[in-house]
Every structure is written in C-alpha cells, then in structure tokens.
Chains A and B, each alone.
Chain A
Amino acid sequence: MKDSLKQHFPIYSHTPNLVYLDSGASALKPQVVVDKVKEYYEQYGVNIHRGLYEASDRATTEHDNARGIVAQFINAEPEEIVFTYGTTHGLNMLATSLGQSLKKGDNIVLTTWEHHANLIPWQQIAKKTSVELRFIDIDDDYQIDLEDAKKKIDSHTKIVSFAHVSNTLGSKAPAEELIVLAKQVNAITIIDAAQSIVHLKTDVKKLDVDFLVFSGHKLYGPTGIGVLYGKKEKLALLSPVTFGGDMILDVSYEQAEWNDVPYRFEPGTPNIAGAIGLGAAVKFIESIGLQHIQKRETKLTNYLIVQLSSLPNVQIIGSSQSNKHHGVVSITIEGIHTHDIAEICNRHNVAIRVGSHCAMPLMKKLGLPGGTARFSVGMYTDKDDVDKAILALEDAIRIFS
C-alpha cells in the first residue's frame, strides 16, 4: 500500500514507480509548495517593497509572512532572517564579510567533514589574510572528536563553522559543546544546517549560535532560496558584501547609507516566489509535525541500515549505530565502483547519489577515491522504497559477481 505521505508529493503521480533516496541532495516538493509558487506568479507576481498598488502590496505581505514563518520555525525574530539564494550563498556572505577583520595569526576552525560550501569560501579568505584553517577530526565511529576540538579551538580562534549534520556520513556534530568551546575564546559561531534543518528541531536560541544557514530546497521548498539567520546584534555588525537597490536608506553620488537589518543584506529583487514557497514548505512540515517526521525517519533509517548490512561485501561508511545517522546512510560495495552502483540502481528507478558528495577532502582522508553510494531519506520514504533499493543492489552484486 502506498504510504499516505507520498500523496502530498505530485512527482509520485507523475512517476509512480520512483524510488527517491536522494533527499539529501534535494527534497521533493509537496503540492502546497508548487501551488503557492504558482499562486504568486498567477495572482500577484510583481515586485515587493516599492509598488504602491494592490498586487505589490500583496506580494510584500506574503514575502514578509514567509520571513515570519521561517523565523518562528527556528525560534528566531523575523529581522534575524536574511533571505539568500541558498546555503552556499549564505556561507560565502559570511566568509567574505567576517574575513575582512581577520589578520595573520588568527585561525578559523572547521571540521574534516565539511561540504565544499563550508570549506572553499574559508580557503579563499585564508589565502587573502594568511589566517590558519584548522580542522576538527572525526573518531573511529565517524563522530566529531571533542577532545580534538578542545585542542584546535584556542585563543587565536576567531571563527568556528561546522556542518550540523554531515551530508556524507549522517553524523551529527555536538553543536552545543562546540559553541561553548568557541564562546570561551570569543569566536564567532556558524552552523551549516543544510542537512540538519529537515531532520532535527532547530532552535537558534537554545543553540546560542551566532549565525546559521540553510537552503529551502532541502526543506521541501523551492530551489534558489535560502536563509541566513544571524543574532540581531551580530547581523548589525556584519558589513554587506553585495550592493544595489533596496539595501539602502539614502544615497548620494558619493556614498550610501545602509538600510536596516535584514534588508541591507538583500540587495536587488529577491527570489520572491522562492521565499513565499519556502514559507509554504515550513507550514506544511509543521502541519505534518517535525517530531512525527523525525520518528518515521529514525525507524526507516534503522531498517535501511539493517537491510544494507545483510548484503554481501557492503560496508557502511558511518557510525555503527543506526540512530547516529540523521537521514543519511553511505556505503561502499567491494568490487563495484559507486558509479556502477548508481547506474544499476537507476535501472530499478532507484535514485541515489554517488561520488564525493562535495566533500572531497573527507573522501581522500577515508581512502575512498570513488566516494560512497549515499541513500538519504525524506518524510515520504517508506519501507517499500528501501526494499526496492535493496533489490537493485542485489542486482548490482549479481552482475559484478
């Protein structure tokens, strides 16, 4: 029997036999999100903030509402929410802006499991400012090594930035502990919540984090929209790095005065449909219940790991404990390159992700040049999906035996 949550996702009516296990790359879009985006384009698809007419007013209201919905979702204030184009954009903004005040002798602490989006922007800053990049290592169970974190974070650390959940391993970073360590040395803290936002209840006040970034499309929302959360007082100190219309209060030929936070960080016409669609996505998640989703996903991930482990020559690249996998399970199969695994999975309509998952340094460190085959789940994933994926893998193993 079809799982009831699948009925909210129109892709399953279009492609009923789809086995989608690549939610970590992008979550499927529910009908309500598609409808909301369509509503904007059909009914009030004009610019925001400036138009003194009905449609613009409606668009502005809907855009503001979306900011409020997202703020509430992570327990922030609306003015602490900056709309970006995605996680990568948010991290680049932070690196470029915060990087301006760094100097030789300072260090930036990341982890060895960072996605390229939370590595390359910092590498660029490090090159310009000669600051040192440090990487907190992982332990034998693929978890963040807190003892190593204590060594890496020192009085010269200015920024600590890390992925809350590894997109490759599924492991969760001990965010609270890392933030406490960073605060002891007055370092700025940044969480890359791209993978975690959809699986874990995120409370920025409880985390006490300075900045947190995520993308809309991994949260059942549209692509091209993301969020940069910043504590009010931290955002106020951040200098804008992109400039143009709507981000100013007063302009002369010589200079400009910045608009209030968060608008000073949103120059130009934003992704209005994207923001409104993201608001709809968050409302949808809340209507299903994040806790309910989490319970389902935990059970399913456990089932997935048990089934995967029963296959010959399969190695799980991640914790041996299933509840330490947050929506993501990576494997390798001895004697079969990951690209061939994906090819054969696709024959069975099983969509997975293989390769380095934009975490090339981690793959090199783990000695996996071909990367891993990654299975990632969403609220719609059910046992049937897992069973079909296992059949596909059995086929791959048979072909290569």
Chain B
Amino acid sequence: MDDLLYKDMILDLYKHPLNKKSLELFTTEKKSHNPTCGDLVTMQILFDDDGRVKDIGHQGEGCAISQAALSLITDKVKGLTKEQIVSISEEDMLAMLGIPISHARMKCALLGWNTLKSMMNEV
C-alpha cells in the first residue's frame, strides 16, 4: 500500500538525510525550534566569492517531515545566490515535499525553509 504522507522518498530522506553535517567554515548559522513537537535545527551556510552557496549543513532532531524537508531545501539551494534563495516560496517548499501537509504539520514542513529565510536577512 502506498502511503500518501510517508512516501518512500520521505522515509528514505528521514533515514538517510542529505547535508546532515556541521561545517567547519561557514558564513552564518541559525538555530531554530519548533516547540510543538520539539524539532530542533541548526543550519550553517557557506557562500563562495561569487555569492553562491558553496556548502550547507543542518543538524538536529525532528520528525520525518521536518527532516525530509531539511534535506530537500538544503540540497535545492546549493549554487544559488541569496536572491534566488529568497525567491523560493512556501508553495515551492511544499511542492518539493510533494505530500499533503495538514495544518498541524505545516510547522514541521516549513521549519527548514523558515530557518533559511531568516538566515538570508543576516547575510
């Protein structure tokens, strides 16, 4: 039976997350927290001389949805400029996940996206 929410892609990213690491050198970092379920993330981003994302890492604890979303968004922004990152909309983030997100899970789905957005104000 194919699960609408816990698709193989989501579960796979939960078990084998992308970019789950800490960077030794980074431009800025941000800690975020989703108190409803205890999701915690620390995101670090490194821009190159051309103003493009050279590397990005995230660490923390979270549910399958937040962890999958973190993997997707961090992979998406590699090589992008600050402006390009800012232009990624909420809809884009949800489209990347490609699963129905209930009101209760919205904070999980958008944790990484929100963190990244607020980081862009600091670079």
Contact = CB atoms under 8 A, between A and B. Distances in A.
Interface string A340-375: 100110000000001110001001000001110000
Contacts of A340: 6, 63-65
Given A343-B105, A369-B61, A370-B62, A337 B37 contact: yes
A356 B14 CA distance: 21
Contacts of A370: 37-39, 61-63
Contacts of A360: 35
Contacts of B63: 337-340, 343, 370
Interface in B56-98: 61-65, 67
A301 B112 CA distance: 39
A363 B35 CA distance: 12
A400 interface: yes
Interface residues of B, number: 20
Q: Which of A340, A344, A354, A363 has the most CB of B within 10 A?
A: A340
A399 B35 CA distance: 25
Give the most central of B5, B37, B64: most A CB within 10 Å. Answer: B37
Nearest to A344: B6
A120 to B, nearest CB: 14
B36 interface: yes
A372 to B, nearest CB: 10
B40 interface: yes
B38 A371 contact: yes
Contact of B38 (A343, A363, A399): A363
Nearest to A364: B38
Given A343-B5, A399-B3, A399-B6, A355 B36 contact: yes
Nearest to B60: A369
A344 B63 CA distance: 12
Interface in A366-401: 369-371, 399-400
A338 B38 contact: yes
Contacts of B37: 337-339, 354-355, 370-371
Contacts of B36: 355
A24 B108 CA distance: 25
A339 B108 contact: yes
Nearest to B36: A355
B11 interface: yes
Nearest to B5: A343
B52 to A, nearest CB: 33
3 A-B pairs closest in CB distance: A339-B63, A337-B63, A339-B37
6 contacts: A338-B37, A339-B39, A339-B65, A340-B63, A399-B3, A400-B11
Given A337-B67, A360-B35, 12 more contacts: A337-B37, A339-B37, A339-B65, A340-B63, A355-B38, A356-B35, A356-B38, A369-B38, A369-B40, A370-B38, A399-B3, A400-B64
